[in-house]
Structure 1
């Protein structure tokens, strides 16, 4: 518990968590406000309320998570951390737990904040959360953000440089996985096993909005909860590799 408290204090002693959290809220909830404001009253759906959460807000959370560790390497404060806690794995796992928890809570705030704002702006729309799929689509955002934070922390530990880690995360999430789909014959098959595509599959609501949701047209081999487990497995596996590398190399 002491390590967790220390990592929480260290994280919030910098400005990046505050700025990134604010930006994620603005992008996630703000995009919902724009959609609700430009959509005819009564035509909003559960799927549209979360349009900004799984893409733009997630990208900011990935950046925030990577900064949590690369900033320490940049200013060499990680050396003081490892001197105070000789067990490097314990220190890095504590940091990852703190960042993942904050990312998960932020995801839930954005998801339910977007949904509540849509209900206020479009009162005649049917935005009641009744089915399991609808609960997964909204409440699942926090799970997705938490796992994404673990993956981003792993990349940050491996790369150690802010620019490199952020570039890898954003290009992979927002560009590369989508471009792979244009490879003739095998592109869509490869996409079915890519991490962020499976993350999107977990949140997919189906129904009338299915064609507009990320991952539409991909023949996923796993169930939606299976896709979440697969995404989590990749994040944890990458983190294990990062911890092993961090233990063996110089700080």
Structure 2
């Protein structure tokens, strides 16, 4: 518990997490408000439509998670941390836990905020959470954000430089996964195993009104299986990062 408290203090003592959280909320909920205000009979507002921009908020939170690690390497404070806990694994796990829990909380605020602003702007729209799929679409966002933060922390531990970590996360989440899908023949087969496609499948499966490229019919797992696969990959990267951090110099 002491390590968790220390990591919480370190995280909230800098401005970058506050800016990242505020930016993620403003961008995502703001775009949800713009979309809700411009829906009509041809493009009606629904629960999945209100959640269409959560990935933008997730990218910002992943940057925040990476900064939680790379900032310590940049200013050398990680050496003091490792001197206090020579095994290195415990403080890094504590940092990952704090960042993941915070990311999950922000994800829930973003998801329910986007849903709530839609109901406020268009009170007559069908925005009720009547099915398990609709609840998963909204409430499941926190889980996706949490594991995305775990992956971002792992990348930060591995590369240790802010610019490199942020570049890797942005290129992969916003560019690489989509580019792989356009490769003839093998692209779609590879894409169905990528973590972004599986996290999206977890959130959107069963919501027939959701419109996405490729859909989720060809995914190898059901929604909860996709979440388990997504979580396993993120945690796997963290395990690799912890092994590397334990073996190399700080």
User: Normalising TM by the smaller chain, what interval?
Assistant: over 0.9
**Corresponding residue for 1:196?**
196
Per-residue CA distance 1:12-67 (angstroms, 9 max, x = gap)? 011110000000001110110000111127921001111111x2101101100000
Change (3 A) 1:217 1:185: farther
TM-score by length of 1: 0.96
C-alpha separation in 2, matches of 1:100 and 1:250: 25
Over 3 Å counting, the alpha-carbon distance change for 1:64 and 1:27 in structure 2 is same
The 5 Å alignment of 1:122-201 reads 122-201=122-201
Secondary structure in 1 matching 2:114: helix
Cα distance in 2 for partners of 1:58, 1:215 equals 21
Secondary structure class of the residue paired with 1:213? coil
1:63 maps to 63
Instruction: Flag structure 2 segments of 5+ consecutive residues without an equivalent.
Output: none
Give 1:118's aligned residue: 118
- Long gaps (5+) in structure 1: none
Matches within 5 A, 1:45-56: 45-53=46-54, 55-56=55-56
Aligned length: 249
CA contact (8 A) 1:70 1:156 kept: yes
RMSD: 1.4
| Displacement of 1:102 | 0.0
Does the 8 A contact of 1:133 with 1:205 survive in 2?
Answer: yes
Q: How far does the alpha carbon of each residue in 1:88-122 deviate from its partner, in whole angstroms, 9 at most, with x for none?
A: 00000000000000000000001001111110100
- Shift in Å at residue 216 of structure 1? 2.0
Seen in structure 2, the aligned counterparts of structure 1 residues 37 and 10 have a Cα distance that, compared at 3 Å, is: same
What CA distance in whole angstroms lies between the structure 1 residues aligned with 2:22 and 2:230?
A: 26
| Aligned twin of 2:96 | 96
Q: 1:133 to 1:15 in 2, by over 3 A?
A: same
Relative to the length of structure 2, the TM-score reads 0.96
